[in-house]
Structure formats: structure tokens, C-alpha cells
Amino acid sequence: MSRFRVLRPGPLSLLQDGGRHGWQHLGVSPAGPLDPHAAAWANRLLGNRRGAALLEIALGGLQLECLDDGWLALCGADVPIRLDGVPRPNWSRFAVRAGQRLELGFARSGQRVYLAVPGGFRGEPVLGSLACQAREGLGGLHGDGSPLREGDLLAGGLGDFPGAASVPWPFVPDYRASRPLRVVPAVGQEEVLQGFVARSWRLSPQSDRMGARLSGEALRLPPCEWSQGMVRGAIQVPPDGQPIILQADRQTVGGYPVLGYLHPLDCGRLAQCPAHAELRFVATDLETVQQEWRAFLRFFAC
């Protein structure tokens, strides 16, 4: 077993895994990592399954004391990483020794970094998952949806690796690059989507794990006549015309009209954008999204 004591939790550090599935009919959202790409790579570097429990660290600022020899991997936002004051590379795995201190600085680009250990972090599942969901008070290290606190003790497994390793550079995203996010139009909303992608939007600082709020020239959609099930990436348009892109901690049912659906991998790119970032979107088709998502799942052996 490898253990870590939390010396400084940072602004928001959450235990997440593959998500809490099979409970949406009771209003429980799946939760899980906001950036599935970075989280999956952190687990892959250690030979874990894609949904193994890991830490999602918002903005950085985490400090851990290593109580045992072990291994860990970090992928995601560009944060300074130091082990006993010595820099370590991001998007890589490396060994740690008992008594060493791991310190993460604050993000220079991107918003969330993922820290994994062999076998995943251990805890008591709630409704079959460790995923931390603060709004519903579920999961996390203490089972009540609370983030990490100073003094918390984290435990994971042990691994046997030939040495350090890094993610190949073509798979490491540049979070400073501005690329359009891809959207599949909802049925009957193709014309409205043309107006949505024709303008730029700003990411509101009121965004959170439940949804990314956009600000810009208001859209006008006819109201829905009934509520409908919600999925991650659904783009709702409330009466004020400012779209909301639902994320991992979304509600499971909603009555606002839905403009379209963000590509699952672009949900992760969106989660790495800072507040006030300028966002642009482009229309894509369902078949392309399905092919790319299947390729992602196959690559990470899901």
C-alpha cells in the first residue's frame, strides 16, 4: 500500500472515478472527471483501468507528504510539479519515496490536473462509486461529497515499473491553443445552431462542475412543452438566451430547450478553459462523434 497525507488541499481537490452509473432515474448524476482525456492518460501510465479512482485538482496548490515508497502519475493542466523541491515533468509517471513532499504550484494553462496511483485510490463506495458530488453530498474520501481537507490520509496500491514514463507528445494538448469546440445539432435545431456557431462566446466565471455558462448575444428558442432527460454535453438555452453546457455534475432532467450536444472529448477541453475565455463552436455530425468516441474507448481498453 502507498499512503499520502494531505498537507495542503488546494482550492478544490476531489476524488473521482469512472462515475456513478445506473442511478439517473432517481435524479443522481454520474459525476466523474471533467476532463476524461487527461484522467484516462494518468491512469494508463500506471496500468490502471480508465475509471480507477484518482484526484481531480482544480488550479493546483496541492501538497502531499509521501508516507511510503510508491509511484504516481500526473496529467492535465500545466502546473509546476516539485518533489522535495526538485522539478518533475507533467504528463508522466515517476517514483516517490517515504518522507518526500509533493507540491503542485498553480496552473499556468488549463484548469484541472489529475493525480493517479497504481490501482487507484481506495475508499468506501457510495452507490457503487467513489466519485465526489458535492451538490448531492455523495462520494469522495469521506462519503459525503466533501473535497479533500488538510490532514486527510489517501491510500492506493503498489506498482512495479521499469522506470519513469511520459505520454507521447502528440497526445499532450496545448490548453493555450484556441480551437472550435464541436457540436452535434439537436433534432429540429439545425437553423438555430447556425446562429450559435456564427458568433463567439465568453465562458462565464459562474461556471462549475454542473455546467459551463456562456455569455454573448442572446439566442431565442421556442420553449419546451415537456421536460426531458439530460446528458453531459447538452447545450440548454434558458429564457435569458445565454446557453449552459451541462457537465459531469449535471441535473438528470431539464425543461429548457436543447440546442445541441458537445462532443464528449470537447467537454474535457471546455473544462480546461479559464473564466472569460473566448469560445467558438463548429457543427459536426453524430457519426463522426461516435467513431471518435469509440476509438477513444478502444485505446483505453474500456
- Domain range annotation of the chain: 2-171, 181-299
| High-pLDDT (> 70) share of the chain, % | 99
Kindly tell me if the per-residue pLDDT of 145 is higher than 60.
yes
Beta strands, E only, 167-220: 181-185, 201-203, 211-215
Q: State pLDDT tens for residues 249-283.
A: 999 888 888 999 999 999 999 999 999 999 999 99
**Looking at domain 181-299, which of 3.30.360.10, 3.50.50.60, 2.40.100.10, 2.60.120.510 is its CATH number?**
2.40.100.10
The number of beta carbons lying within 10 Å of the beta carbon of residue 49 is 15
Lowest-confidence region among 177-181, 269-273, 291-295: 177-181
Provide the pLDDT for residue 109.
95
Q: State pLDDT tens for residues 84-118.
A: 999 999 999 999 999 999 999 999 999 999 999 99
Sign of CA dihedral 163, 173, 110, 247: negative
The number of beta carbons lying within 10 Å of the beta carbon of residue 172 is 16
- With 0.85 as the threshold, say if the pTM is over it: yes
Provide the pLDDT for residue 220.
83
Contact 263, 292 (CB under 8 A): yes
Q: What is the mean predicted confidence (pLDDT) over 42-66? A: 96
